[in-house]
Amino acid sequence: MAQAQKKNALLITEDDAFLFAQGTHYEIYEKMGAHKMVKDGKEGVYFAVWAPHAQYVNVIGSFNDWDIYKDNMEKLGDGGIFALFVEGAKVGDMYKYVITTQTGEKLYKADPYANQAQLRPNNASIVADLSGFSWTDQTWMTQRENTDWNKKPMAIYECHIGSWMKHPVDYEKETGFYNYRQFADRFVEYCQKMKYTHVELMGISEHPFDGSWGYQVTGYYAPTSRYGTPEDFMYLVNTLHKNKIGVILDWVPAHFPKDDFGLSNFDGQPLYEHPDPRRGEHPDWGTKVFNYEKNEVKNFLIANALYWMKKFHVDGLRVDAVASMLYLDYGRKDGQWLPNQYGNNKNLEAIEFFRHLNSVVKNYYPGALMIAEESTAWPLVTGDPKEGGLGFSFKWNMGWMHDFCYYMKLDPLFRKDNHNAMTFAMSYNESENYILPISHDEVVHLKCSMLNKMPGYYVDKFANLRVGYTYMFTHCGKKLLFMGQDFGQDCEWSEARELEWHYLADKEHSSMQYYTQKLLEIYNKYPCLYENDNNWKSFEWINANDADNSVYSYIRKSESGRNNMLIVLNMTPMKREGYTVGVPKKKKYKLLLNSDEECFGGNGVPVKKEINAVKKEKDGRDYSISFDLPPYAALIFLF
């Protein structure tokens, strides 16, 4: 038996152990975890786990009747990796590790590198085989490698699979979840109809509590079993790619929950978390914080990012809670945090982690997206690591989101005193590559849905939302809209119920959906709206200061000089008769979109389809056009 165990070390070599200890084994998931194999002509499963503080580690499961004494794993060298080949174990078997701590306590742990897990509330790991799926998305994957997303339209639909739509017949079996395959077939049709370019999926990594929305992860290498198997998830990604829809996953390298079966105190001591609670715990969230000082922990996370891209072909990761990682005092009071070696609040190890992570992803997967949810003014989040940046592809513009929601909630009487809220974002637009997010966070916890943030009567709310979304889709920055907000969902979002699809039987909601669809169609069609988002080449204010009328006017310019746009937004219920706007050229200005048209749920105030500029000075320009500007209206002219 001893001789057989020594042969187990052949799968994890000394080089593997060395690279893992250095934090640079980017395919460590091929060695750690559970992998079917044939050894000496016998079929079985090779198990490997990192537990350097353990006295002993045993693997238990359905293959050995959960006998905690039967399969004792061998410790390989000084790095703390334990491994064992178990003859007769097979794909589909459930298992856990029994870790005997230095004090003799026995801990029953799920596998940190498991590729599949039981459906909650059960939490055993499951032996999986990721090699059997036949991918047919090579065209998409090849094109992605050479894509500069700064020059392309990105309209992201943020989606939580479990509450997007409930299955009409499966309520007794589960909570009505569609599986990944069923969801794929229905979802593709919706995305294509609406013209979204990407979907951002929430809660794909395995997590025990539905109410965490997937932001408290226990299975970083396992697609959640709520919606099926890893192969089912591959089917979803493959189907989306074949229909030219990119896939972004929410990814949580900031913290993890304290569940006994998870990463917390994994081998009886802090292993994945920082040992000092002033750095190793989030007081407000009740979670553990990863220890970015430890190479093996950084390797676990960086390899995990690459794993989703290699094994599941995902196109990018939206990295959650970046600010909480960058600042040592984030969410902490005096005495609850520990300064760095220079006495300030910057998390130097997390900064290095991000630079390492983003550099490796860019090197391995050109065209893949790394998106930071970062809520502060930290500089160069999307800057080159060689120049002091963090290396992300894009950053959520949380400042824009805050100002936008603040302004749009105001009674129109008070909007003139807050006019700069809608212009401020352009003053710092060049500092990063931005995504403008209206995410799930804006429509939960008594924040109201986007529709019910709007002031006025019910019909006014829709008009406000139409003009607000026009501002969003014609402003610099890529776009993200949370599910349900495109048709004006009434209720706040809850993970426990499906979207209010029944409202689409009402004219107001169906018209709102149609208007959002037209905005997405226009956004995708005209390069002036996306090819120079991060500079002033494509944006120019006509009048940013008409606070008295609460009207904004600006132009978006294409590199070719063709199909430029003039956008005029009226943020009040007052019709502005004979409103005059300065224009850059003596040309014919063709009305492309009028949010007040009856087909969109508007009043139908007529606006000329074509207006010739006249030589009349306005807004510092020699030429201008005049028209009746409907109440709560957005007008887009092509020139």
Instruction: Give the whole-angstrom CA distance, residue 528 versus residue 526.
Output: 6
Nearest in space to 436 (alpha carbons), one of 489, 481, 391: 481
Confidence (pLDDT) at 167: 82
Question: How high is the mean pLDDT of the chain?
Answer: 96
Work out whether the CA dihedral 410, 412, 414, 417 comes out positive or negative: positive
Q: Where are the domains of the chain?
A: 2-109, 155-529, 536-638
Confidence (pLDDT) at 133: 97
User: Which residues neighbour 517 within 8 Å (Cβ) at sequence distance 6 or greater?
Assistant: 193, 194, 195, 486
Nearest in space to 45 (alpha carbons), one of 100, 98, 89, 2: 89
The enclosing H or E element of 408 equals helix 398-409
**Two tokens, residue 301:** 């996370």
Nearest in space to 544 (alpha carbons), one of 552, 534, 535, 536: 552
pLDDT in tens, 50-104: 999 999 999 999 999 999 999 999 999 999 999 999 999 999 999 999 999 999 9
Q: How many CB atoms lie within 10 A of CB 245?
A: 20
**Two tokens, residue 192:** 């294509």
Instruction: Give the whole-angstrom CA distance, residue 483 versus residue 488.
Output: 10
Instruction: Give the whole-angstrom CA distance, residue 17 versus residue 378.
Output: 36
User: Which residues neighbour 617 within 8 Å (Cβ) at sequence distance 6 or greater?
Assistant: 582, 624
Place of tokens 């992860």: 217
Architecture per CATH, domain 536-638, reads as Sandwich (2.60)
Instruction: Give the whole-angstrom CA distance, residue 135 versus residue 155.
Output: 25
Confidence (pLDDT) at 1: 34
Instruction: Give the whole-angstrom CA distance, residue 327 versus residue 596.
Output: 46
3-state secondary structure 520-540: HHHHHHCHHHCCCCCCHHHEE
**Two tokens, residue 595:** 């949010």
Is residue 305 a contact partner of residue 357, using CB atoms and an 8 Å limit? yes
Is residue 82 a contact partner of residue 72, using CB atoms and an 8 Å limit? no
Instruction: Give the whole-angstrom CA distance, residue 156 versus residue 436.
Output: 10
Confidence (pTM): 0.95
pLDDT in tens, 416-475: 999 999 999 999 999 999 999 999 999 998 999 999 999 999 999 999 999 999 999 999
Parallel/antiparallel/unpaired status of strands 125-126 and 94-100: antiparallel
Confidence (pLDDT) at 168: 78
Distances (CA, A) of 100 to 53, 107, 274: 9, 6, 21
Is residue 276 a contact partner of residue 187, using CB atoms and an 8 Å limit? no
Instruction: Give the whole-angstrom CA distance, residue 89 versus residue 450.
Output: 51
Same CATH topology for 155-529 and 536-638: the answer is: no
Parallel/antiparallel/unpaired status of strands 316-319 and 246-251: parallel
Burial 143-178 (b: 16+ CB within 10 A, else e): ebeebebbeebbbbbbbbbbbbbbbeeeeeeeebbb
Confidence (pLDDT) at 170: 53
- Name the maximum alpha-carbon separation found in the chain: 95
Strand partners, 126: 94
Q: In the chain, which residues have pLDDT < 70?
A: 1-10, 169-175
Q: How many CB atoms lie within 10 A of CB 494?
A: 12
Confidence (pLDDT) at 6: 43
Nearest in space to 85 (alpha carbons), one of 114, 48, 127, 111: 48
Instruction: Give the whole-angstrom CA distance, residue 109 versus residue 280.
Output: 20
**8-state DSSP, 490:** S
Instruction: Give the whole-angstrom CA distance, residue 504 versus residue 492.
Output: 17
Confidence (pLDDT) at 169: 65
Nearest in space to 624 (alpha carbons), one of 556, 557, 568: 568
Confidence (pLDDT) at 11: 87
DSSP characters over 221-237: EEE-GGG--HHHHHHHH
Q: Is 369 left (phi over 0), alpha (psi -120 to 50) or beta?
A: beta
Q: How many CB atoms lie within 10 A of CB 375?
A: 18
Parallel/antiparallel/unpaired status of strands 551-556 and 281-282: unpaired
The end-to-end CA distance of the chain, in Å, is 80
What are the start-end ranges of the H helices in 455-542?
A: 458-474, 507-525
Instruction: Give the whole-angstrom CA distance, residue 526 versus residue 543.
Output: 22
Q: How many CB atoms lie within 10 A of CB 390?
A: 26
Instruction: Give the whole-angstrom CA distance, residue 208 versus residue 216.
Output: 8
**The domain made up of 2-109 is a member of CATH 1.10.10.10:** no
Residues labelled as active-site residues: 320, 373
The SS3 assignment for 361 reads: helix
**The domain made up of 155-529 is a member of CATH 3.90.280.10:** no
